[in-house]
Structure 1
Amino acid sequence: MIRVAIDAMGGDLGPRIAFQATQKILAAFADVEVRFYFDPQHFTVPEGASSNRFTSVSCSEHVASTESVDRALFKRCDATIFRALTDLAGEQVDVVVTFGNTAAMVALTRYIVGLLRPKLYPALIREMRPAPLKCLVDLGANVHCPADMLTGFALLGSAYLEARSDDAANVALLNVGVETSKGSSVIKDCYQMLSARSWPAFSGFAEGFELFDGGKNVIVCDGMVGNAVLKASEGLFAFLLSQLSQHSMDTTAVEKLVRAENRHGACLVGVKGNLVKGHGRSDEKAMVGAIEYGIDIARTNLSKKIEQKLIQQGVL
């Protein structure tokens, strides 16, 4: 059985949508068990929902998406995300899926679950294309990133890609151009660090269009840039679909392509456990997709495979 922990309190649409998504997952996967962490002040689990594959975990509070992270966060032991991560650290579940506060998730994961290596900072990775696999890292776990942190993202992203596919990692730094004269001092310093390494293969800089095409399959940037790029890309897809519909054009082919290419949720790598972060604004369909992604990485124990890959390459 794959044991999935769902932090139901983070999504903008509320825990009811998370519950509905959970029920769809249980109906679709006979080998999945779910622990559903919720705050009874905001949601009541329907009578009869509990079963041998669904366990509701009532918590006294949750971390709101608008909250800032401070020291008090680490004392909120009965918050939904705190309880879910504690169960992950205690090997009571195989993966945690949350749609809530990114900063709180990252801080608590570092505190409760632990890092693969000190100063190898965790990062959020999103699969921009599934075949061939192309990844973007980081998506918002870290905003202010010196060169050595970006180098760490490249190592984590490469380990992720090689654990998830048969391809070798080919890293590039997202920049305003491919010329070595362009970019900030941080980007240029990171360029030198990655150029000096034997693994992973490093192809210099990448421009935005290479996120979806070309041979560079691990694109690295700081979390602010990555988050903006991801949401702009998703917004463009949504805009094009709406415009085509308004002009009475058939959008079936475009929708089919987007579904085939899209991966809901991002994976937090660099920590000792499997975690998926979904958009706070996720609807039921997006939540189902993020949970399916969590099940997928849990089946292979992705965090352990990433750790083994980094050990093989002498990073850990």
Structure 2
Amino acid sequence: MIRVAIDAMGGDLGPRIAFQATEKIVAAFADVEAYFYFDSQVFEFPDESPSSRIIPVACHDSVSCMEVVDRSLFKRVDATIYRALSDLSVSQADVVVTFGNTAAMVALARHIVGLLRPKLYPALIREMRPNPLRCLVDLGANVHCPAEMLNGFALLGASYVEARSDSEANVALLNVGVETSKGSSVIKECYQMLSDQNWPKFSGFAEGFELFAGEKNVIVCDGMVGNAVLKASEGLFMFLLSQLPKHSMDTSAIEQLVQAESRHGACLVGIKGNLVKGHGRSDLKAMMGAIEYGIDIARTNLYKRIETKLTQQGVL
């Protein structure tokens, strides 16, 4: 049985939508138990659960998306995300899925679950395409990134791709051009680091159009750039879908393609557990997609496979 811990309090649409997503997930997957972490001051769990495989976990605190993270966060032991991660850390859950505050999630994951390696900072990885697998890392877990941190992202991204597929990782740094003379001093320093390593395979710089096509399947950047790139791509898609019907153009083929190619949610890699972050603005369909993704990585215990891959390459 796959045990999914769902932090129901983070999404913009509230815990009601998270509960509906949870209902549909347990109905679709007979081997899944969903532990539903909710703030009892905000949401009233039904007297009769629609399924014995939805287990309510009543909490008395939750972290909003608008909160600024400070040291007081580590004392909020009855917050939904704190309790979900605590259960993950003692193997009472196989994966945590949250739609809440990214900064709080990362800080608590590091504090409660722990890192695979002390100086290997965790990063959010998003599958831009599943077949062949292509990933973007980081998406917002880390905004100010020195060269050593970017190098760590490359190691985590390469491990993710090789743990999730039969493909060899082919890493590139997102830059304003492919020429070695271009880019910031941090990018150039990281370029040299990756060039001097035996693993992973490094193919230099990549430009934005290579996110979705080409041989480079791990595109590395800092969290500010990655988050902006991802949301700009999603925004363009939504804009096109809204505008094309005005010109009598059928969008069904585009919608089917994107649905087949996209993943809802990103994986926080580099911690000792499986953790999925969904968009705060996720609707019912997107929440279900993020939970399904969490189930998928839990089935193979992805973090352990990544840890093994890093150990084999002499990183851990």
The answer to whether TM tops 0.5 is yes
1:239-284: CA deviations, max 9, x gaps?
1111112222111111111101110000000000000000000000
Matched, 1:246 2:275: no
1:31-88: CA deviations, max 9, x gaps?
0000000001111111211643111001001001000111100000000000000000
Shift of 1:237: 0.7
1:8 partner letter: A
* Separation in 1, partners of 2:311, 2:285: 37
The answer for the alignment partner of 1:198 in structure 2 is 198
* Separation in 2, partners of 1:245, 1:303: 43
* Separation in 2, partners of 1:106, 1:224: 15
The answer for the alignment partner of 1:295 in structure 2 is 295
* Separation in 1, partners of 2:18, 2:245: 29
The answer for the alignment partner of 2:24 in structure 1 is 24
Question: 1:1-316 alignment to 2 at 5 Å?
Answer: 1-49=1-49, 51-316=51-316
Counterpart secondary structure, 1:273 = coil
Q: TM-score, normalised by structure 2?
A: 0.99
Q: Is the 8 A contact 2:23 2:50 kept in 1?
A: no
Q: Is the 8 A contact 1:12 1:280 kept in 2?
A: yes
Counterpart secondary structure, 1:30 = coil
* Separation in 1, partners of 2:88, 2:40: 22
* Separation in 1, partners of 2:130, 2:161: 10
Q: Is the 8 A contact 2:127 2:135 kept in 1?
A: yes
* Separation in 2, partners of 1:298, 1:242: 35
1:103-145: CA deviations, max 9, x gaps?
0000000000000000100000000001100000000000000
Q: Is the 8 A contact 2:173 2:206 kept in 1?
A: yes
- Structure 1 moving runs of 4+ over 4 Å: none
* Separation in 2, partners of 1:299, 1:259: 22
Counterpart secondary structure, 1:107 = helix
* Separation in 1, partners of 2:192, 2:84: 40
Counterpart secondary structure, 1:142 = coil
CA RMSD of aligned residues (A): 0.6
Say which is worse superposed, 50-59 or 136-145, in terms of deviation: 50-59
* Separation in 2, partners of 1:120, 1:250: 46
1:61 partner letter: D
Q: Is the 8 A contact 1:50 1:56 kept in 2?
A: no
2:116 partner letter: L
Q: Is the 8 A contact 1:39 1:58 kept in 2?
A: yes
Counterpart secondary structure, 1:160 = helix
* Separation in 2, partners of 1:51, 1:180: 57
* Separation in 2, partners of 1:18, 1:245: 31
* Separation in 1, partners of 2:306, 2:100: 25
Counterpart secondary structure, 2:127 = strand
Shift of 1:24: 0.5
1:279 partner letter: H
Runs (5+) with no aligned partner, structure 2: none
* Separation in 1, partners of 2:240, 2:59: 41
Counterpart secondary structure, 2:27 = helix
* Separation in 1, partners of 2:234, 2:41: 33
Q: How many residues align?
A: 316
2:273 partner letter: G
* Separation in 2, partners of 1:205, 1:89: 37
2:53 partner letter: R
Q: Is the 8 A contact 1:63 1:101 kept in 2?
A: yes
Counterpart secondary structure, 1:48 = coil
Identity fraction in percent: 79
Q: Is the 8 A contact 1:137 1:221 kept in 2?
A: yes
